[in-house]
Chains A and B, each alone.
Chain A
Amino acid sequence: MSDILTVLEQREGVVKRVSHEALAAARALADELGCEVHALVIGPPDTDVTGLGQYGADKVMTSLDEELTLYQASRYAQIAADQAMGGAYTTVILGATSLGKDLGPRIAARLGCPLTSDVTSISGVDGIVVTRPVFAGKAIYRLKITGSPSVITVRPNAVAPVAASNAGVVEEVSASDDVKPAVARTLEVRAPDNAALDVAEAAIVVAGGRGLKEAEHFKLVEGLAQALGGAVGASRAVVDAGWRPHSEQVGQTGKTVSPNLYIALGISGAIQHLAGMRTAKVIVAINKDPDAPIFKVADYGIVGDVFEVVPRLTEAIVKAREG
C-alpha cells in the first residue's frame, strides 16, 4: 500500500503550525486508507524535528543543510520530488502557504500529476475526495482525484492539529546532487521591523474599511488587533486608496481567510470581500449603517460609529484578557 508524504514547512528551524495541520489531514486520510504518514522536513541543520509523531507522523525524513535555510524553490522541489517519485506515495500533502503554493505545483509538475490547491477537507472513503472553495469562497467544489499520485495543499486553519502517538522515527535523506541548471536562488528574507502576523495565518483578524475615513485612523484597528493578539486586515477600497499594503487585503483579489474570529470595522461587505472571509468561525461587524451587507454574515453586530465603539471594545478586551 502506498503511503502519504507530508512536506513540512519551517521558519528559522521551527516547524510551522500549518504543517501540524497538514499532518492532521494526512493522518486522517491515512487512517481511512490504511497506510502510513511520512513527514519530510527541509531546512537548516538545527531544525527541531522532535515530537512530530505526536502530530501524526509515523516516520520523519529530514534533509537539513545550511543552504536549505531559506526556501530555495528548485532544491526544495527536487528533494520533495525525489522522495515522492517511484510510486511509494499515493498523495503528497502540504500547507497552502506562500511556500506550499509555490512548491506544490513544482512537485506536481515533476511527478506529472494532478494538484488540488487550498482544500478544506480530504476524505479517503470512496477514492480521494476533497472539498475546496473556488471564486474565493463564493462556491465550493467537491472533487474526486482520479490520478495517482497527486499533490494536495491544505488551507491554513481548516484542519485542527491532532494529538497522536505515532512513532515519528527520524531518518535522514540525502538530497540528490542532480540539480537542474535552471535555478532561481533566494538571497534573503526581509521581515519588516514591526514584523506583523500575516492575515492569512492568524487565528484572529481585525479588518478595517472605508468607514475608518483616513489611513491614520487604522490605529484603532491596530490597537484592537494587538489587544486580541490578532492580525490586521483591510478591505480592497482602503488598499486601492493606498492606506494599507495589499498584503493585508482580504477578499477575492486579496487573501482568503478562515480565522476563529474576524472583526470587521467600518466595512460594508462587498461581495468580493465577503467571499474572502465568510468561512471565519465567528464574525463580528461594527458599522454605522444598519443595512450594510456585512451584517448578513455577522454572528454579532454593533450598529454604531467605529470611533466610539472600537476604543471601548479594545479597553474591554484588554480587561477581559487580564481577568
Chain B
Amino acid sequence: MKIAVCIKRVPDTETRIKIAADGKSIDESGVKFVLNPFDEYAVEEALKLKEQSNGEVVAICLGPEAAQETLRTALAMGVDRGILLKAERLPRDPLVVARALAAELEQGGYDLALFGKLAVDDYDQAVGTIVAELLALPSVSAVTRLEITDGHATAQREVEGAVELVEFSLPAVVTAEKGLNEPRYPALRGIMLAKKKPLDIKEVELDEGGIEVLELTLPPDRKSGRIVGEGAAAVPELVEALRNEAKVF
C-alpha cells in the first residue's frame, strides 16, 4: 500500500497564547511548535499498516519553511519520505488548504490518505473531509478503529454517546481520532535515520479564500469567583449559591 499522511505544524498544547501586534494572529516568539497531536495518530496508523502490508508512507505538510522540522519528526517515527508544500502563511479558509493538499495527493497514486481529525490550532476539523470530497473519494472522519483487508475497509467513528460502523473501499481518506492507537516515540536511531531521508520542498501559491480575519483576541477573563469554604462543611453554602445565585438548578 502507498499511504499519505497529511500533517501540520502547530503550537504545543501547553502554549500560553499571546496576540501579535497586528491583532489578527498569535505572537509566535518563544512558542514551541510540534507535530499536531491528532496527526501523530494518523502517522502511527500509517506505519502500522505498512508493517502489515509493506509499501510506502509519505508525509505531506503544508506550511512554512520551519515545518521541515515537523516532517522530520514524522520521518523519525518511521515515515519513508516527506513533502513540504511551502507556503509562508495559511489562509483561514479550509477550502484553500484542502485544494493545495488535494492537488498534491492526486498526483501521488495513494491507496489511503490519513489526516488527524483536527489541528489543535484552528480547530476546523474540516480539511481531511474536504480533500476527500474534492478527490471524490470515500472518507470517514474521527476514526477510532480501522481495519483494511484486500482494499476493503471498515472504520469505527465516534459520535455523541455511540459509535458508527462504516464500510468503504480504497482508495479513501480517513481522519484519526484519539484512541485509534498509541503513537510511538521516535527512537534515537529513527532520529538519526530521519536526517538522511528524502524531503522534497515545493513552493505553492495560496489565495486568500472567502474568509477574512478581522480580529484575534484573548477570551474575556472570567470574573473572579470565590472560595465558598473548606471541606464538606462548605457544601450547604455551595448548593445554596448554585441554586439561588447562579440559578443552575
- Interface positions of A (Cβ within 8 A of B): 70-71, 73-74, 77, 97-99, 101-102, 104-106, 108-110, 112-118, 129, 133-148, 150, 180, 182-192, 195-198, 200-201, 204, 228, 239, 245-247, 249, 251-254, 256, 260-261, 270-272, 278-279, 281-284, 290, 295-305, 308-309, 312-313, 316-317, 320-321
B25 to chain A, nearest CB (A): 10
Q: Does A246 contact B95, Cβ atoms closer than 8 Å?
A: no
A contact residues around B69 at 8 Å (CB): none
Q: Categorize the interface residue count of chain B.
A: 35 or more
**Residue in B16, B17, B159, B246 with the greatest tally of chain A CB atoms within 10 Å:** B159
Number of A-B contacts defined by CB within 8 Å: 280
Q: Does A144 contact B126, Cβ atoms closer than 8 Å?
A: no
Q: B198-210 CB contact bits vs A (8 Å, 1 = yes)?
A: 0000000000011
B contact residues around A112 at 8 Å (CB): 95
Q: Does B126 contact A105, Cβ atoms closer than 8 Å?
A: yes
> Could you name 28 residue pairs across A and B whose Cβ atoms are closer than 8 Å?
A77-B133, A101-B141, A101-B142, A105-B129, A105-B130, A113-B95, A115-B124, A133-B123, A139-B219, A141-B215, A142-B215, A142-B216, A144-B211, A145-B211, A147-B211, A187-B165, A187-B167, A188-B165, A189-B162, A190-B165, A201-B160, A246-B144, A246-B178, A295-B225, A298-B225, A299-B226, A302-B231, A304-B234
Q: Does A204 contact B248, Cβ atoms closer than 8 Å?
A: yes
A184 to chain B, nearest CB (A): 4
A contact residues around B141 at 8 Å (CB): 101-102
B148 within 8 A of A: no
Q: Does B227 contact A301, Cβ atoms closer than 8 Å?
A: yes
B contact residues around A196 at 8 Å (CB): 161
* Contact partner, A140, options B167, B219, B224, Cβ 8 Å: B219
**A148, closest chain B residue (CB):** B210
